Structure formats: structure tokens, C-alpha cells
Amino acid sequence: MSAPGSPFGSWLETDPEVARLIGEEFGRQTTTLQLIASENFTSPAVLAATGSVLTNKYSEGYPGARYYGGNRVIDEVEDLARERATSLFGAEHANVQPHSGASANLAAYQALLEPGDTVLAMRLDQGGHLTHGSPASITSKIWRFVAYGVTPPSDDPDVPGEVIDFDQVRDLAKSEQPKLIVAGSTAYTRTIDPEPFRQIADEVGARLMFDAAHPAGLIAGGAHPSPVGIADVVTFTTHKTLRGPRAGAILTSAELAKKIDSAIFPGLQGGPLEHVIAAKAVAFAEAARPEFRRYAASVVANAKAFAAALAAEGLRLVSGGTDNHMVLVDLRSFDPDLTGKAAQEVLDRSGITCNRNTIPGDPRSPFVTSGLRLGTAAETTAGMGEAEMARIAELIGRTLRGRDDPEALGAVRAEVAELCAAFPPYPGLVGST
Ligand code: DSN
């Protein structure tokens, strides 16, 4: 038995249970639509690096300054990843060791703040991340978070609604005197311009951190403005629009390099995951190629086409549309009784994978919600274009309308399988159909 989904799958013959599970997940990923905005399909080269013998090596420290012997090759791997990251983003310094975006954010706070300091970040129910001061996150226990939000919805086509309220950001910055302002979100569909944040940070003498977890690939691919050189620190994940392994990274100035490095190790983490760092190096090189620029532009064009088609199905879009890789749908316009949770569950039955999400002013809890977040990064990698996005929107409309009709759901499921078969994300991989 081989394990589809891994270039070294046949080696798992010794563990048929795990091989079976990897095979099942490979089947799920390739026969259903992957519309979770924070997911993507990495290249086989990224998978191979992640599954390599580099996982065996302990390398606490940094290149040239390790606490263990035998790191000659590992130093080259990590140096390569750092060089590729700084070159890709035009940054003075990169730390490629964060295990995740959450670790990257914690390290940035640790480098820039003292316990108890005030941080101004986006409201969690309007798109802020858990590490932007959620009461459930350690961040809110160490630092004092104050939240800004978005403007109210607008009926006037000339006045954009549900966009970052920079008047509020400035007012709060003046009244709360934060030591750090955080730009960035997990569920904001518009371009986040780093310039106004920088201006406000300068007005109050705050540092600026840009959490680019979601748009990192769009920034690398030239589809979104870069915060590098504007924000003091840029944190990001490598697995969303950037299409690398599941992990994080930090970009900063030469001035802050040592503080950031010390905050990651020994401040927060022990031994780095050098197999994942090698996979990040692969992804950074892939993102520097001209075809990645075309990919980033297609992700945005697909999201715009998707947004227009979803609106045609009667679904209201938060902020009226999108500039990036995701759309946020307000289900109340479609059916006031349809929750995000119920919609996510019925879409799962149709083979359409997405996640429920709070929307600005959501009257429901984060576990139930009134919204859905849908992204185009993964299926664009699989080769889908604007025509497929329009078709998926129609399948979503049919699923939501036919949610109590098993026959209607079965028909959608069959069409989803057909669509996925026409766009295999891993055509050359073991076990791929
Ligand atoms: N960043 C979250 C997401 O966007 O899905 C996960 O932490």
C-alpha cells in the first residue's frame, strides 16, 4: 500500500494505518473544493523538503552560532532561506524560524514591548486574529490590547462601507498612546495600505507591526502593496497565499534584527524545524518566479469574479466586494435564519469546503456566526479561473437553497467531483487520479 499525498508515500507501507489516513486526506483534498482562505496546495518540491531527513537535526541557535555540532549543512539551508526571504520581499533581515504565524506575532510583541504595554489592533469580531489580543490568547494576558474596527455598512456607492476606520485608528492611538499598532487581519477583503498606519504610528510615537499572514503571497507576487520598509516588523505565514509549508516568518530592519532573533530563540522556541525551513526556502524561490506574479494576479481576479457571482446568487458581500484572495459573505441577506455554522455544514455535504466566520456587527457567537469566508488561493493553484469561480458560486447557491433536499445536494456533490477531477492539484503525485 502506498500513501498518496506524499512523495515518499510508499515508505509508509510499515504503517498502514497512517498510510490509509494520509490517503484518505489526499482523496478529500482532491475530490472536494478547497475554499478555506488560509489554505493552499504546496508544490511537490515543498512537500519533499518537508518530508526530508532535515527533520532529524537539532540546530538551536542561528547559522554560525549553534548550540549543537554537525550543523554545516543546516547552516547553509537556513542561510539560503533567509537570503531568499530578504530578496523576495526586499527586507534587511529575515527570521525564518517561527513555527507558525502565532509564534511570529508573539516574538514580535516580545521584541518590541514590555509586559503591560498597550497595543492597538483590529477587533477580533471584525477580522483580528486570536494573537491580536483575544481574551482566550496569552497575548491579552501579557499586554493591554485596544481594538479598532471598520466603518458601518454604506448604501451610498461613493462611500465605501465596512472598511478600516482610520479616523478611529487615529483617535484611539491619540487617546490610548499604544506602544505598538498592529495592521493586518484574517477576514478583511480589502487591500490594507500600510502608509496610513505608519503615519498614525509616527504621530503617536508607536512602532508598527504588519501581520501579513494572509496577503504575503499577494505582496510577494506584486498584487498588493508591500509593508516592508514601512512597518517596523512584518510577520507572515508561509502556507496561505504564499503557498509554502505550514509555518511563519518575520521580516525586519537591520536595527531590530537582533531583538527579533532573540525573541524567537531563546525567547519563545527551542530547536528550529529545519525541514520546514528548507521547504520555506523552496517556496520563497517559487514565489520569486514570473509565474508566481501571474498566480497572484489570478487569485485576485478569481476572487473578484467569485464575489460578483456570489452576489448574483443573492448573497451580500461584506464591504461590497474584494481586493484580495477572499470574500466574506453575510448570509442574513440570503436567509435571516441561515447561520454560518449551518451553511458550512451543508456545503461540506456538497463537497465545498469553507469556514463560517463572524461578520462586522455579527449578532451571533463566533461558534455560530452569520457569515462565510471563502478564498480562491488553493483552487487557483489547481488551475481554476474565473469561469470555474462563477460555476462554484452557482453550486454554493444551489446548495444553500436546496439544503433540505438530499437529491439536490447529491447532484451538486457529483458536479463538484467532476470539477475537481478536471483540475487535479497534484497531477504527477503518487496516488493522484
Ligand atoms: N489565521 C487563521 C485563518 O485565517 O484561518 C488561522 O489562525
CATH of the domain at 191: 3.40.640.10
Does residue 35's CB lie within 6 angstroms of at least one atom of ligand 1?
no
* Eight-state DSSP code of residue 360: T
The verdict on 231 and 365 lying in the same domain is no
Centre of ligand 1 to C-alpha 158, Å, is 31
Q: Is residue 272 part of a domain?
A: yes
H helical segments located in 226-339: 254-264, 274-287, 290-312
Centre of ligand 1 to C-alpha 186, Å, is 6
Give, using CA atoms, the residue closest to atom 5 of ligand 1.
38
Q: Is residue 34 part of a domain?
A: no
Centre of ligand 1 to C-alpha 269, Å, is 21
State the closest ligand 1 atom to the C-alpha of 102, by its place in the atom list counted from 1. Answer: 7
State the closest ligand 1 atom to the C-alpha of 36, by its place in the atom list counted from 1. Answer: 5
Does residue 398's CB lie within 6 angstroms of at least one atom of ligand 1?
no
What is the pLDDT, as a whole number, of residue 44? 93
The verdict on 97 and 232 lying in the same domain is yes
Ligand 1 site-directed mutation target among 36, 124, 129, 353, most atoms within 8 Å of CB: 129
What is the pLDDT, as a whole number, of residue 53? 96
Q: Is residue 327 part of a domain?
A: yes
The verdict on 69 and 129 lying in the same domain is yes
- Identify the domain boundary among 246, 270, 287: 287
- Residue-number span of the structural domain to which 348 is assigned: 291-422
> Measured between alpha carbons, how far is residue 319 from residues 64, 191, 214, 357, 359 in Å?
49, 11, 18, 15, 10
List the beta bridge partners of residue 375: 326
Give, using CA atoms, the residue closest to atom 1 of ligand 1.
186
Q: Is residue 205 part of a domain?
A: yes
What is the pLDDT, as a whole number, of residue 433? 37
Task: Kindly list the averaged pLDDT for each block of 10 residues, start to end, along the chain of length 433.
Answer: 61 88 94 98 96 97 98 98 98 98 98 98 94 96 98 86 97 98 98 98 98 98 98 98 98 98 98 98 98 98 98 96 97 95 98 97 95 98 98 98 97 98 87 43
Q: Is residue 428 part of a domain?
A: no
Does residue 186's CB lie within 6 angstroms of at least one atom of ligand 1?
yes
Name the strands in the sheet holding 180-183, side by side, starting at the edge strand that comes first in the sequence.
93-95, 248-252, 233-237, 207-211, 180-183, 118-122, 144-148
Q: Is residue 36 part of a domain?
A: no
The verdict on 275 and 310 lying in the same domain is no
The verdict on 356 and 414 lying in the same domain is yes
What is the pLDDT, as a whole number, of residue 1? 42
pTM: 0.96
* Eight-state DSSP code of residue 362: -
The verdict on 273 and 340 lying in the same domain is no
The verdict on 362 and 252 lying in the same domain is no
Does residue 38's CB lie within 6 angstroms of at least one atom of ligand 1?
yes
The verdict on 383 and 403 lying in the same domain is yes
Grid coordinates given for 284 = 520563497
Q: Report yes or no: 305 and 389 within 8 Å, Cβ to Cβ.
A: yes
H helical segments located in 8-65: 16-31, 44-50
Give, using CA atoms, the residue closest to atom 4 of ligand 1.
186
Active site residues: 58, 60, 211, 237, 240, 246
What are the φ and ψ backbone dihedral angles of 72, each rounded to 5 degrees?
-60, -50
What is the pLDDT, as a whole number, of residue 403? 97
| Cα–Cα distance measured from residue 77 to residue 62, given in angstroms and rounded to the nearest whole number | 11
Is it true that the peptide bond before 266 is cis, omega within 30 degrees of 0? yes
CATH of the domain at 329: 3.90.1150.10
Q: State the pairing for strand pair 118-122/180-183.
A: parallel
State the closest ligand 1 atom to the C-alpha of 355, by its place in the atom list counted from 1. Answer: 5
What is the pLDDT, as a whole number, of residue 160? 82
What is the pLDDT, as a whole number, of residue 158? 78
- Identify the domain boundary among 287, 303, 329: 287
Residues in the chain: 433
Q: Is residue 410 part of a domain?
A: yes
The verdict on 242 and 384 lying in the same domain is no
The verdict on 189 and 278 lying in the same domain is yes
Ligand 1 site-directed mutation target among 39, 122, 185, 186, most atoms within 8 Å of CB: 186
Q: Is residue 162 part of a domain?
A: yes
Give, using CA atoms, the residue closest to atom 2 of ligand 1.
186
The verdict on 197 and 332 lying in the same domain is no
Give, using CA atoms, the residue closest to atom 7 of ligand 1.
129
- Identify the domain boundary among 287, 303, 324: 287
Grid coordinates given for 187 = 477576514
The verdict on 153 and 299 lying in the same domain is no
State the closest ligand 1 atom to the C-alpha of 130, by its place in the atom list counted from 1. Answer: 7
Q: Report yes or no: 310 and 396 within 8 Å, Cβ to Cβ.
A: yes
Does residue 129's CB lie within 6 angstroms of at least one atom of ligand 1?
yes
Number of domains in the chain: 2
